[in-house]
Structure 1
């Protein structure tokens, strides 16, 4: 059974081992592929309001996500999340579980909606999952993502109201 819990600093080596190849690939996240470990730690752990890990029964970290306000001040009631799953755990429900967990966490922290700012259109698995979980594409950003293999591709802004 998958366990979702708050990130602890001892998790960082495992989290970095999941983030690094995803960021280096340049196919799903806008972080620079050459991002340093310290810069990734700041962006994934220090800046967000909270960071979580998804763990296998034996404790191995299979995925991670962060939760933060999407905007400051008058837009701070809408949150933003980022999710990454270890390659060996992809397609096994980890992202689904993290997204459901993040929605509960968001409501518990007073957020009224969740917005994904840059969902790469070619990341079909993620787009399909977010739609399955009730997110809607509210905008298409033409050629807004510089994909490492495909060049400039569209990105979606996806949104879900959590509290009516």
Structure 2
């Protein structure tokens, strides 16, 4: 039996269709390299195969008993702080949204004009909605489970 079989897999991330009905089969002894530009879905594919995230549709079958894991692209950078924080911060857009939320919250404290406050409050609500979406797509408890499985404490 194959180690991994991917059939008709599709996933969309932040409105971008990364994979549409792709297929892949990995056999014992295969050597595979993932090559592509940033944002093309290399890490997403590894996260899908590793059960870190779920596809929109399709199926991933793995031979019973195999363990799948991967290291971030730049291990030294990723492991320089708390491992879980580094993993969560590697979610595309998460740091940008978190920084934008902090900036908007600080700005909201200093704005006196009611119309400007309302406009910024709406922007802040949208940012919170975006980061909530990311937190649902990439829950921290899943990252904790995976790190524990890889031997991190």
The two structures share one fold, judged by TM-score above 0.5: no
* TM-score after normalising by structure 2: 0.29
**Larger gyration radius, structure 1 or structure 2:** 2
* TM-score after normalising by structure 1: 0.27
